[in-house]
Amino acid sequence: MEHTKGAARVRVRTVVAAVAVLAAVVPLALDSTAQAAVPGHGPDPSAATGHRNPVSSRWTTRDLAPGLQVRTGTIRRADAAPSWTVTVQRPATSRLTGAPTGLEVSDRAWADDTAARLRAAGFAPRVETVQWPAYSDTPHGTMGLRVRIGGYATQAAATAAAQPVTAAGFLTAVEWTGYDADQPADVQNIHIATVDPRVFRGTVAGTHDGDVARRETPSSVARKLGSLVAVNGGFFVITNAGGIQGTQSGLGAYDGRLESMSAGARAALVLADGGRHFRIADLNSTATARAGGASYAVQGVNRLPGTVRDCGRPGGTPSELPWQDITCYEKDDLVVFTPAFGAALPTGAGVQAVLDARGDVVSVGARGGRVPADGSVLQGIGSAADWLTAYARTGERVSVGTTIRDTAGEVLALGPDDSVVSAAPTLVQDGRIAVDAAAEGVVDPLDLSFGYVWANGRQPRTLAGIDDRGRLLLVTVDGRQTGGGSEGFTLMEAAAFMRSLGAVQALNLDGGGSTTFAVDGTLANNPSDATGERAVGDSVQVVPAALH
């Protein structure tokens, strides 16, 4: 597709102001409540003290096409004073993985005892109370207490200070207090794309760029497609230990075809009719293979049989629930591979059946080879392999039916121009902040070592929302940049920010080192990944209408 990049298409303006005039660049005016919800800022102190508001922001707005606007902003808090510190952790065992870990937050008895032992060893600890974020499905009030020592200007100084504490027998971590939810953010660099489907004449779609087993950077895909805006999409397998790199670890559908199954009922962004309609809902997927009068439940599409990244599938161990960044396993597993799987098929124990375009069995045998361009492959291990051996007979038909439903039981019927990008958790629902962190498996109230930093600390985030005018909001915030760089959002800050933009529905997409925002095929944000822009699984691409 072609598009022009001339000055006639792009209008730029800059706004320098306090947060109170963020409304100048946000389509919906912010009332005092929304202003207070801007991440890390809290209420305007000038209202009570008469002093200057310590929060300032600078925003640049670009109209890339009719119905498509990009805003880039930096929010600063002048009274923020982050520093490096030494956190003393409580040795523990993860409830989810059984691996040794460290608890940053624990009960008062541990905190008081640890502080006393530190003082006896010649250190000067401080005990801090940590509150639960206002998630919709976790406890409220005090989460626990943490123990810290000192405040240092550099990471090197904090690391040096931690060495004698570690030598005295304590488990330590060197941390930046600017990532703490209970401290004001220093700097947050934000990009916002707003797509109005009533005006924008291009398309908005989730894409894996034709091969679900290949990782690509969002900007490289954008250059191929001529996209105006691109952001990274859903969670994906990033290491071989979690399965096949590049494949999605949750629900993914592209060009109307299901290419990855859900990890439980998690939040998903539905881009219908090429971006004419948007929806956010918790979606789950099921699939069944049938041969004659026999059937078998399919638990995977385009993934390594027996290995389920982010868990969330029936029969998985150690859990059938969605657990973020945890790998679960299935000993009896039937997986479908579609033509979108461009890599060599997995090999190993088990059986595979190769099907043609009609679903007729072409061959049954050992696992391996490639998916035929006009067919599919079923691979089974354990009892699923036995089922294929018994019922997948050459020349006979095996049909595979898939269904996507929301939590109300409504079926999502995919059209040829529909795509679905999934991640977790939900941030805003029905116009209210509603972060279901436990249900979607990103925190565990019974194990504070799981998800604490990922969810409750500031991180780079990619977010998607829909406002009450039906417009799509694609948002990124840079993070993991200390000493005057961008610190990111907590999940609650992300939800509050999306609500302040007018979102009535919003979800968290993949973030961290994956967070990417590209404009005209050029990287516009500052990713935290060590390699620069990370090659990811799928992305959301905003593509202009073709010129005729």
For the chain, how are helix, strand and coil distributed in percent, rounded to 5? 15, 40, 45
pLDDT, one tens digit per residue, over 201-226 is 999 999 999 999 999 999 999 999 99
Residue 46: partners with Cβ closer than 8 Å, 6 or more residues away: 52, 53
User: Look-up: residue for tokens 């799987």?
Assistant: 341
- Per-chain mean pLDDT for the chain: 91
List, in sequence order, every beta strand (DSSP E) within 366-484.
376-381, 399-406, 419-422, 426-429, 432-433, 461-467, 472-477
Q: What is the model's pLDDT at position 19?
A: 36
The mean pLDDT of 518-524, rounded to a whole number, is 98
- From first CA to last CA, the distance across the chain in angstroms is 10
Which pLDDT band holds residue 52 (cuts at 50, 70, 90)?
low
Q: Residue 2: helix, strand or coil by DSSP?
A: coil
Q: Residue 287: helix, strand or coil by DSSP?
A: strand
Nearest to 56 by CA among 38, 76, 42, 30: 76
The mean pLDDT of 309-320, rounded to a whole number, is 96
The CA distance from 105 to 343, in Å, is 44
Which pLDDT band holds residue 31 (cuts at 50, 70, 90)?
very low
Residue 13 pLDDT more than 50?
no
Q: What is the model's pLDDT at position 33?
A: 28
Nearest to 74 by CA among 153, 131, 15: 15
The CA distance from 212 to 251, in Å, is 12
37 contacts 22 by C-beta, under 8 angstroms: no
The mean pLDDT of 393-420, rounded to a whole number, is 97
Give Cα separations from 378 to 6, 39, 186, 360, 364 (angstroms): 50, 47, 52, 12, 9
Instruction: Please state the φ and ψ torsions of residue 463, each to the nearest 5 degrees.
Output: -130, 150
> Beta strand 333-337 with 300-301: parallel, antiparallel or unpaired?
parallel
Which pLDDT band holds residue 112 (cuts at 50, 70, 90)?
very high
Q: What is the model's pLDDT at position 1?
A: 36
Phi/psi region, residue 383 (left: phi>0; alpha: psi -120 to 50; beta: rest), is: alpha
pLDDT, one tens digit per residue, over 385-403 is 999 999 999 999 999 999 9
Identify the weakest region by mean pLDDT among 90-99, 344-353, 364-373, 421-430.
Answer: 90-99
Q: What is the model's pLDDT at position 442?
A: 97
165 contacts 86 by C-beta, under 8 angstroms: yes
Q: How wide is the angle at C-alpha 290 spanned by C-alphas 286 and 294, nearest 5°?
A: 115
Residue 37 pLDDT more than 90?
no
Q: Output the six-digit token pair for 114.
A: 């640890």
The CA distance from 465 to 280, in Å, is 8
Instruction: Please state the φ and ψ torsions of residue 190, each to the nearest 5 degrees.
Output: -130, 140
Q: Which residue has the higher pLDDT, 124 or 3?
A: 124
386 contacts 392 by C-beta, under 8 angstroms: no
**Residue 317: CB atoms within 10 Å:** 11
Residue 108 pLDDT more than 80?
yes
**Total residues found in the chain within this entry:** 548
The mean pLDDT of 276-280, rounded to a whole number, is 97
User: Look-up: residue for tokens 């088990």?
Assistant: 350
Q: What is the model's pLDDT at position 3?
A: 34
List, in sequence order, every beta strand (DSSP E) within 357-480.
361-365, 376-381, 399-406, 419-422, 426-429, 432-433, 461-467, 472-477
The mean pLDDT of 474-485, rounded to a whole number, is 93
Phi/psi region, residue 90 (left: phi>0; alpha: psi -120 to 50; beta: rest), is: beta
pLDDT, one tens digit per residue, over 167-187 is 999 999 999 999 999 999 999
Q: What is the model's pLDDT at position 29?
A: 32
Residue 25 pLDDT more than 90?
no
Q: What is the model's pLDDT at position 288?
A: 98
Which pLDDT band holds residue 53 (cuts at 50, 70, 90)?
confident
Q: Residue 465: helix, strand or coil by DSSP?
A: strand
Q: What is the model's pLDDT at position 158?
A: 98
Residue 49 pLDDT more than 60?
no
Radius of gyration, CA atoms only, the chain? 25
Sign of CA dihedral 519, 520, 526, 529: positive
pLDDT, one tens digit per residue, over 443-464 is 999 999 999 999 999 999 999 9
Which pLDDT band holds residue 472 (cuts at 50, 70, 90)?
very high
